[in-house]
Amino acid sequence: MLAKMKDWALEVGELQRDYFRSTYKVSNKKEKINLVTEVDQKSEKILLNKIRNNFPADKILAEESGNITGDSLETGRWWIIDPLDGTVNYVHGFHIFGISLAFIIDGKLDKAVVYIPMLEEMYEAQRQGGSFINGEKMELKDNKDLSTAVIATGFPYDHQSNSQDIIDMFSQVLPLVGGIRRTGSAAFDLCQVARGVFDGFWEVRLSPWDIAAGALIISEAGGVVTNFSGEEIQYNAAEIVAGNRFINQELRQVLEGE
């Protein structure tokens, strides 16, 4: 299954490279800055067809199509897919975007793939099987000092109308860390934590397709993924803190105002 997932991601990645910095249709979702393109839709259609043809009994949660069955993700075999994570980046010609695929069984993450086409970086993980980039095993940084840590974050699409909590958290974290990065792709950021490029990550108001694959990739690289209260999460949290256990704890304390 993991081999199939990587092949699908490569196929979709080729499509996205072909359209990148070219002409295609762009429209808005509910928020003006929450964009969807025909590339998102074409990418998702490929992935949906692949899943249905290979695993016809499985259920699917996809960013553009939503919960196709309406059932709970807590039971059965599920796919959580983001066909183009970083759509705003894509539309503006910024090369950080990718395909995120996660497979869960009875509410537990089992397999994950994140592919960044323009960097040709294939991240993968499976439960109790470790995390890898292009076949090389990944491990988190062992940094225990928040003051030297580089932390990534993101801003929700509703930040134009609901930004005060984002500003408050940013202002709390910034003076205490070595640096903050914001790439515009949660899936990419989580993979950079697993790879040891970033020390940690936090964000709020996320959806399952934003974090599912990256959460497994981090946990299989030796990290922890929790909500602000420290409860381990799989995919179903609107807030996330990720990193090694030391950075996770220190960052949570800052975000909780402790």
Provide the residue range defining the domain that includes 189.
146-255
- Order the strands of the 136-137 sheet from edge to edge: 66-67, 59-62, 77-85, 98-105, 108-116, 121-126, 131-133, 136-137
pLDDT over 90 at 25, yes or no:
no
Question: Cα–Cα distance between 122 and 127 in angstroms, integer?
Answer: 17
- 255 pLDDT band (50/70/90 cuts)? very high
Q: Model's pTM, two decimal places?
A: 0.93
Number of domains into which the chain is organized: 2
Residue 12 and residue 79 in one domain: yes
Residue 30 and residue 129 in one domain: yes
Query: For 127-180, how does the pLDDT look when each residue is reduced to its tens digit (9 = 90+)?
Result: 999 999 999 999 999 999 999 999 999 987 665 666 788 899 999 999 999 999
pLDDT over 80 at 70, yes or no:
no
pLDDT over 60 at 33, yes or no:
no
Residue 131 and residue 161 in one domain: no
Domain closes at, from 83, 114, 137: 137
Which CATH number goes with the domain that contains 113? 3.30.540.10
